[in-house]
Structure 1
Amino acid sequence: MFIEGDDVRYSNNGYDDSHWQTVDLPHDWSIKAGFDQAYDGATAYLPGGVGWYRKTFDVQQSQRDKLFYLYFDGVYANSEVWVNGKKLGGRINGYSPFYIDITNALTVEKPNLIAVKVDHSRYIDSRWYTGSGIYRNVELRVTDPLNIPIWGTFVTTDKVSKDKADVSIEVEIDNRYSHIKQLELLTRITDAKGNQYRLVNKNISIDANSSDRFLQSTTIENPILWDIDSPHLYQAETELIVDGKTIASYHTRFGIRSFHFDSEHGFSLNGRSLKIKGVNLHHDAGLVGTAVPKKVWYRRLQRLKDAGVNAIRTAHNPASSEFLDLCDEMGFLVQAEIFDEWDNPKDKRLNQWERHSDDISRGYAEVFQLEAQADLKDAILRDRNHPSIIMWSIGNEIEWTYPRYKAATGYFDMNAKGNYFYNPPFISPEAINKRFHDSEEGKYVLAKTANKLSRWVKEVDTTRPVTANLILPSVSHISGYTDALDVIGYSYRRVIYDYGHRLFPGKPIMGSENVVQWHEWKAIEERDFIAGTFLWTGIDYLGEAHNAWPRKSTESGMLDTAGFTKPSYHMIKSLWSDKPHVYISSQVEEKSLYRSNADGDVVEREPGAWQQRVWIWQDVNRHWNYPNQAPVIVEVLSNCDSVELFVNKVSLGIQKQSDNPDRILKWFTPFEAGTIEAKGVGACQASDSITTSNNANQIQLSADTHGLSLVKDEIAHIEVQLLDSQSNPVRHQEHRIEFVVSSNLEIIGVDNGNSATMETYHSNQLTTHLGRALLIVRAKEGGISSVAVKAQGIQSNEITFNRQ
């Protein structure tokens, strides 16, 4: 049960909540509100507020002597947990996992009440859309007083090779009995082939009301290694056995792999050199907000993997356990980031240093001194068994918030010309050093905080390097900041890769934020010593749109908010995927970044401008509908060495990658209705085509549910594409469409991927964008169910699930 509002009576057992809303967890109440310009674009023009959740449950007589823990994977934010009218705890940080021992507040005589207050009245407390509520999974865990506590195991794999791997598992055992306990500790490790390895510790003693740690080790012959293309996972089942009876068990999933960062040779996984081809992702997923079903993440991550993406940076906070489980299962490397803010606040509306002082935008810096150690360590304790995680990031672009850094760079002086994105430092390292060390420190010193955070990480996990995303690395290298880091991440600073490598040798460097453009990857591809990159971003995300109405999201992604591909996706796929790929787009010449010259060649309007393009891809169309004989520039993205273009089967010639330094193959042609087709030449067998479409009169539906089977509580994505009478996609005109679902389905939301569409996601209708739309439904009950899509003047269509 859920209600928006703030009244302490909501925590009382006797309060009548019959008028409250029934909700399923996880739950994000902000996403269900309408977009409203009265709020701020930093949070996608959606509100925060205060809400309460209530749930009752019974404790059985047989459970009287058990321990009860309430586990939250994340509550946004400032949560308070009450049990039977008693406040037992909570968490300020909405991204942190936490758990509470609720045993002593429970009774077996009557139903027990759990009430959770969530206070997100400071709704601009992050620089992006955060969501509000119990937006991640919740569990009630019941254990024996002798147990393995939550996050109580840690599996490490040392000396890994194809022939064998040394595996160790550290197990924490907690004895809450008032007397000493004798037990046997047994762990069974199982692989996908059914092979089993037994690790046994006998005759263990745990003193009363105490805990201890035990190390178990084994060697696994011919291990099945976890890798990006074969993400094999082992299972470890640990049991506590007393007098021959198992009284507690704990399940740990892990992978066996080795990796290494090298200052000269970049990154290697399982002994082979590998470029990190990563993207940054925020924790929202468009129309579902931040309460993201696992299947929604699967669809999105699979599309990224299809483009060759092999890594994710969790920008800029711990992700959910479920998200990291998927990364383990699908073979993504992960940079797990923990903080966006340390001692000093960022401006939540405008990034960088603080320029507002209103209460609604107070964020994590307000509590960093008190909460940072617990938030950091809890995130690492929860996540350190994930084989996907290869590094911990302690901070994102922190330098903006501290004095001395900005001024010391030399980029922001009145007499400095150029842009720090594309120019090496204007002043010498010696001058940077002098500027920095001759200036006032301020209340907090960034390097000291970084060293403290790095030390805290290594108190919990020494198997992975510590990194951070540096926005002003020319200063960070000389300030002591990088001394705290094992891997140095550069944010939009590909122009100083050589500078950093030459002047500050010995530590690996990589791009931790780079725009989705060819020039960023080119700089990495040409340098063995750069480990790889994380592009900004893999998917459009809600928020960071201050004063941008009617834009609600940040449009830097390879996929839009609905998970549809954008042209930048196809550029990256042509760079990162080995599968032959061709993609056509076009634009009338007057709107294009290109023009035809007197020789009939297509050239940039501003020569060399491709090297400085940033977040947003150029304006191009995915249709072939223009006025007759209109001058058009055709752009083709491909990983083929050469591509031939045809208009109505007439060749316009072959373009070579070697003749196009921007990796965009270009042709000029007067528009002629019909079909345009691009084909790879020679062994590169890939093609793409677009046909001129007429008015839409059909609706194409496709679902991501295997065999159109949909069971209770399962979700399905239904994609809509407008078609003409010849079944050609219609992408140049839009229609208002309506979804009609059967009574046993629930509409989760609708989206068209357009950032400027300010209609609520929680509707049964919307206007298409590029002729397409997305519906997500959940099955309330089993049985036959259906989704029909209608539009005025267009033939409707229907998709049916669970047909016999």
Structure 2
Amino acid sequence: MLVAFKVSAQTKVPPREHLLMDFGWRFAFGHPFDTNKDFGNATGYFSYLAKTGYGDGAAAADFDDRSWRKLNLPHDWAVEQPFSEKASYSHGFKAIGRNFPDASIGWYRKTFTIPASDEGRQISVAFDGVYRNAIVWINGHYLGTNASGYLGFEYNISSYLNYGGENVIAVRADATMEEGWFYEGAGIYRHVWLNKTNLLHVATEGTFVTATVRPGVAVVKIKADVINEGNARQSIIIKQTVVNAEGKAVASSTGKSVYLSSLQNKEVADSIVIPNPQLWSIEKPYLYKVLTEVSSGGIIEDKYETTFGIRTIRFDANEGFFLNGKHIKIKGTNNHQDHAGVGSAMPDALQDFRIKALKSMGANAYRCSHNPPTPELLEACDRLGMLVIDENRLMGTASTELGDMKRLMMRDRNHPSVISWSIGNEEWGIEGNITGARIAATMQQYVKSLDTTRFVTAAVSGGWGNGISTTIDVMGYNYITHGSTDEQHHKFPSQRSWGTEEGSTHASRGIYFTDKAKQQIAAYDRRPNQDFVSIEDGWKHYAQRPYLAGMFIWTGFDYRGEPTPYQWPSTGSYFGMLDQCGFPKDNVYYLRSWWTYLPTLHLLPHWNWMGKEGQMIPVWAYSNCTEVELFLNKRSLGKKSMPVNGHLEWQVAYQPGQLEAVGYRDGKIFLRDVVKSTGSATQVDLQSDKTSLIANNRDVAILTVDVKDKNKLHVPDADNEVRFSVTGPGKIIGVGNGDPTSHEPDQYIETIRTASINNLRERNIESIDIPAATIAAYPETDFSPAFQQDRNKEFAASVKALAYRGSFELPQNLDQATIRFFYRSIGKQQTIYINGKQITANTAYSKKGNTFVLDKTVIKPGKNTITIIAVPLTKQNSWDIINMDPGLIQLVNPAPVWKRKLFSGLAQVIVQSTGTSGDIIFTAAANGLKSKSFIIKSAPPKLLRAHVEE
């Protein structure tokens, strides 16, 4: 059951509605060149580009999508696909793209109602992101095409709507072409919104809030772009109110009065003084809101809400970065939008999970590599205290590139977390030459014309001292092996700088011996090759140079694609400090030692090395203790002093038992870390990041699955296959284990196939009351191809009834399938037989069609016959269109059991609420092991998010 904000005739309609539109969509694959597989779209005499309202095929309002899969957004169809060696290396070998035309075009449709009372308002549909090349229709009317998969877009649909009736949005997404060189997903992988306003309103993303901090006060400057979409000149008043995090108004303006002509927009500026402001910081990310109120004639026409933070930022060419006047060394990570199990379609709560994981290791900055992020990522960074480089997708100075840059900035300019706009990344063709310098200079000037409060950067991997590096505001170094940062600083002493990418070490989580055959890499932080340095060496370089503001590690999380240094069968990267699930690799503890003040002592590797008795095992310790002493089975192997920003190593002859590290500060024992040899697994264990969920169809819990031995010790090298099930108001939406070589499915979903009715033929009969046996006895020679005769008035006068005969093919195994016949009326009245058995009798015409669940005794594998006896549909006017398609047979096979093999002892399951309250019982089981269940409470939300109902 979905809970929605409803407006009745007795309820006052709010001046602005922002309705989530994620629920109850239909999805099916199309095709890039076979129009039959693409539902006949754009095959009509007049196309949707030729005549208004001529969207055909799946773009038509009356298209029958009942056989399509039903789902909620966000949705990434790429993550559902199998792996293939023929697929793209950079996109994780998921079977989409040019070599897989049957899985590279996706169609989405949603039917929704608009109340009659909304007529006269401005209504738009807004997409936060569709990958990729999204074509959108409303009620068969073409709205536009959005090429980029990373930028949101919005269409005003007010003129096209059926007020008081049903409306249909259709979207065709084309993921055939890659936009990046990393996993990007496919489909409507971000939220969709239905926005409603009055004719007088603030423009979409029409406010810009900045603050100047002085002793004891902050001056908040607000610019609001207001539009009059009515047909008469209006006198309006715009009032601004600042509300604190507790919801209390702390200051407001007296209101600005302006006149707006019909279809005119005007930017109105105002300022408010806030005494004793709470500053937004990494430690205390305090957020305010500006409420912009637009009124005319004493009536409030719009209320627009803008979240912002009060903070100051400063880059110094010699001293680095300052937040609120305090020096901050940037300790950042690069990240793509991709997570195990769900791909690019990340639930909002997963954004928080990932940012918290990065903060726990000491990261204070996030680079959106290499594209505009989803809005919820920036909201999480605002709430949790994470600085952000907000990055453009493609450098250029044509209207396309500059327009995309503006869209990014307009959307994200009020986020206090965003401290820099990045105009590009590793543009090898131009970064070291005069063309790159011109493009960068133009883009930088354009960015500054829109926002002077932030700094402009670009990530440059070569050609330092030339091209882009000569003109960019904040120089972004990608890998110190490509040149000398000291020489660049000496040559351009007034240029600010930081490391936009550094590290690029390779590690398989929990693996400590490199095995090229298995494509596994030991998780010690070692320099991978001559082109890159280790995490430790990279951090030492940046930590020792005050002029460098800090660095961003490549990467925070592993991601699909770029399985350097390997090819197939590896499908994911080895770069992350955390794997694709967010499980920490050992490098996390190196960073935590030197990026935080948290007491840290971590030993690696694990101590399960049966068969390696007596062999020397490298043992490392990460710690911010001053000294560490290592013990094997209580025998000291020596005490060593910890170098600043370093680590300690021992070579230890393996014997089973206990490895213990003792950390000292000021000569006193401060911390201990113990690693023990374990026995075989005996039981499954579960942990969850949450014990309760909000029953809103969106909230998720992240469950960690592992196994324990008889002593309840975690078994770090276990690889058991574990099965999962859920009862209650929850569902599994994804599984993973962080193994970049795994080809197991991320998702287990039901499969849908359809069968068309073929070779439909017809013959005249006297009456629909003729017995079926008589119809069955008619030879094939009595039938002609159906619908060859025009259904005009002469036909209506001469033909009383028709018998149609056709066939459809079904696969051999029908045991588990649910089989439905989605019938579309081809008669005013009809009786239907399948294989001689009656399905329905004297059924009247239905505009929406009929659905029949077919019993297994009616159908059979292979060829099936269908007979329809009908009073034919006829035209009232010569231009009428008569339905000639009797529909489809749909076969739905249930989803297989969810399962995943443990990798280095761990797996992850993402469970989502399904909209009702109660206990979600999650169970994990494995052969030969004791199973484990975990209960997650699902509770109604305190505040309902308004949304469009299914």
Per the normalisation by structure 1, the TM-score is 0.84
Task: Select which of 488, 504, 507 maps to 2:495.
Answer: 507
Alpha-carbon shift at residue 287 of structure 1 (Å): 1.8
CA distance in 2, matches of 1:51, 1:488: 40
Alpha-carbon shift at residue 68 of structure 1 (Å): 0.8
- Are 2:540 and 1:522 equivalent residues in the alignment? yes
Q: Matches of residues 468-547 of structure 1 in structure 2 within 5 Å? A: 468-474=458-464, 477-479=465-467, 481-493=468-480, 496-515=484-503, 517-545=535-563
Alpha-carbon shift at residue 802 of structure 1 (Å): 2.6
Task: Select which of 272, 275, 290 maps to 1:221.
Answer: 275
- Are 2:156 and 1:101 equivalent residues in the alignment? yes
| Greater displacement, 539-548 / 23-32 | 539-548
Q: Matches of residues 172-211 of structure 1 in structure 2 within 5 Å? A: 172-192=225-245, 194-211=248-265
- Are 2:758 and 1:705 equivalent residues in the alignment? no
- Greater per-residue helix proportion: 1
CA distance in 2, matches of 1:699, 1:24: 31
Check conservation: 1:629, 1:670, Cα contact below 8 A: yes
Instruction: Note the aligned Cα RMSD (angstroms).
Output: 2.0
Q: Matches of residues 247-258 of structure 1 in structure 2 within 5 Å? A: 247-258=301-312
Alpha-carbon shift at residue 157 of structure 1 (Å): 0.9
Partner amino acid for 2:88?
Answer: D
Count, aligned residues: 699
Task: Select which of 936, 939, 944 maps to 1:801.
Answer: 936
Residue of structure 2 in register with 1:4 after alignment: 29
Task: Select which of 60, 64, 84 maps to 2:115.
Answer: 60
Residue of structure 2 in register with 1:91 after alignment: 146
Partner amino acid for 1:583?
Answer: H
Alpha-carbon shift at residue 109 of structure 1 (Å): 5.4
Decide whether aligned partners of structure 1 residues 662 and 482 sit closer, same or farther in structure 2, where only a CA change above 3 A counts.
Answer: closer
Partner amino acid for 1:333?
Answer: L
Task: Select which of 598, 611, 620 maps to 1:579.
Answer: 598
Alpha-carbon shift at residue 523 of structure 1 (Å): 0.9
Residue of structure 1 in register with 2:223 after alignment: 170
Check conservation: 1:162, 1:223, Cα contact below 8 A: no
Alpha-carbon shift at residue 785 of structure 1 (Å): 1.9
Alpha-carbon shift at residue 625 of structure 1 (Å): 5.2
- Are 2:656 and 1:667 equivalent residues in the alignment? no
Check conservation: 2:594, 2:645, Cα contact below 8 A: no
Task: Select which of 550, 555, 564 maps to 2:574.
Answer: 555
User: For each residue in 1:70-97, what CA deviation from the matched residue of structure 2 results, as whole angstroms up to 9, or x when unmatched?
Assistant: 1111111101110111111131011111
Partner amino acid for 1:777?
Answer: V
- Are 2:69 and 1:51 equivalent residues in the alignment? no
Decide whether aligned partners of structure 1 residues 455 and 41 sit closer, same or farther in structure 2, where only a CA change above 3 A counts.
Answer: same
Task: Select which of 394, 403, 406 maps to 1:377.
Answer: 406
Alpha-carbon shift at residue 667 of structure 1 (Å): 2.2
Check conservation: 2:697, 2:913, Cα contact below 8 A: yes
| Greater displacement, 209-218 / 196-205 | 196-205
CA distance in 2, matches of 1:803, 1:275: 41
CA distance in 2, matches of 1:281, 1:708: 27
Check conservation: 1:709, 1:801, Cα contact below 8 A: no
Decide whether aligned partners of structure 1 residues 790 and 240 sit closer, same or farther in structure 2, where only a CA change above 3 A counts.
Answer: same
CA distance in 2, matches of 1:402, 1:308: 35
User: For each residue in 1:14-54, what CA deviation from the matched residue of structure 2 results, as whole angstroms up to 9, or x when unmatched?
Assistant: 11100011111111111111112221221111114111111
CA distance in 1, matches of 2:135, 2:289: 35
CA distance in 1, matches of 2:724, 2:626: 44
Residue of structure 2 in register with 1:395 after alignment: 424
CA distance in 2, matches of 1:342, 1:471: 15
Decide whether aligned partners of structure 1 residues 624 and 688 sit closer, same or farther in structure 2, where only a CA change above 3 A counts.
Answer: farther
Residue of structure 1 in register with 2:713 after alignment: 728
Check conservation: 2:123, 2:158, Cα contact below 8 A: yes
Structure 1 runs (4+) deviating above 4 angstroms are 621-626, 707-712
CA distance in 2, matches of 1:146, 1:532: 46
Check conservation: 1:585, 1:623, Cα contact below 8 A: no
Equivalent pairs: percent with the same residue?
Answer: 33
User: For each residue in 1:736-757, what CA deviation from the matched residue of structure 2 results, as whole angstroms up to 9, or x when unmatched?
Assistant: 1111221532211111101011
Partner amino acid for 2:736?
Answer: D
Partner amino acid for 1:382?
Answer: R
Check conservation: 1:574, 1:639, Cα contact below 8 A: yes
Task: Select which of 631, 637, 642 maps to 1:657.
Answer: 642
Partner amino acid for 2:81?
Answer: A
Alpha-carbon shift at residue 202 of structure 1 (Å): 4.0
Alpha-carbon shift at residue 707 of structure 1 (Å): 5.3
Residue of structure 2 in register with 1:782 after alignment: 917
Decide whether aligned partners of structure 1 residues 710 and 581 sit closer, same or farther in structure 2, where only a CA change above 3 A counts.
Answer: farther
CA distance in 1, matches of 2:64, 2:400: 35
Check conservation: 2:540, 2:645, Cα contact below 8 A: no
Check conservation: 1:629, 1:672, Cα contact below 8 A: yes
Residue of structure 1 in register with 2:446 after alignment: 456
Check conservation: 2:351, 2:376, Cα contact below 8 A: no
Decide whether aligned partners of structure 1 residues 709 and 18 sit closer, same or farther in structure 2, where only a CA change above 3 A counts.
Answer: closer
- Are 2:589 and 1:570 equivalent residues in the alignment? yes
Check conservation: 1:473, 1:490, Cα contact below 8 A: no
Decide whether aligned partners of structure 1 residues 162 and 90 sit closer, same or farther in structure 2, where only a CA change above 3 A counts.
Answer: farther
Alpha-carbon shift at residue 649 of structure 1 (Å): 2.7
Decide whether aligned partners of structure 1 residues 28 and 531 sit closer, same or farther in structure 2, where only a CA change above 3 A counts.
Answer: same
Decide whether aligned partners of structure 1 residues 626 and 730 sit closer, same or farther in structure 2, where only a CA change above 3 A counts.
Answer: farther
Partner amino acid for 1:678?
Answer: A
CA distance in 2, matches of 1:646, 1:162: 55
CA distance in 2, matches of 1:630, 1:202: 79
User: For each residue in 1:322-365, what CA deviation from the matched residue of structure 2 results, as whole angstroms up to 9, or x when unmatched?
Assistant: 000000001000011102x446xxxxxxxxxxxxxxxxxxxxxx
User: For each residue in 1:479-527, what CA deviation from the matched residue of structure 2 results, as whole angstroms up to 9, or x when unmatched?
Assistant: 3x23542111111026612111112211111111001611111111111
CA distance in 1, matches of 2:458, 2:243: 35
Per the normalisation by structure 2, the TM-score is 0.71
Residue of structure 2 in register with 1:410 after alignment: none
Alpha-carbon shift at residue 217 of structure 1 (Å): 0.3
Check conservation: 1:623, 1:690, Cα contact below 8 A: no
Alpha-carbon shift at residue 255 of structure 1 (Å): 0.3
Check conservation: 1:69, 1:141, Cα contact below 8 A: yes
Q: Which runs of no fewer than 5 residues in structure 2 stay unpaired?
A: 1-25, 31-37, 42-56, 98-103, 505-534, 749-897, 940-950
- Are 2:118 and 1:70 equivalent residues in the alignment? no
Residue of structure 2 in register with 1:29 after alignment: 77
Q: Work out which of the two has the higher radius of gyration on C-alpha atoms and give 1 or 2.
A: 2
CA distance in 2, matches of 1:195, 1:176: 30
Task: Select which of 899, 904, 915 maps to 1:770.
Answer: 904
Q: Matches of residues 435-450 of structure 1 in structure 2 within 5 Å? A: 445-450=435-440
Residue of structure 2 in register with 1:110 after alignment: 165
Residue of structure 1 in register with 2:761 after alignment: none
Decide whether aligned partners of structure 1 residues 383 and 60 sit closer, same or farther in structure 2, where only a CA change above 3 A counts.
Answer: same
CA distance in 1, matches of 2:938, 2:160: 49
Alpha-carbon shift at residue 528 of structure 1 (Å): 0.9
CA distance in 1, matches of 2:604, 2:729: 41
Alpha-carbon shift at residue 582 of structure 1 (Å): 0.8
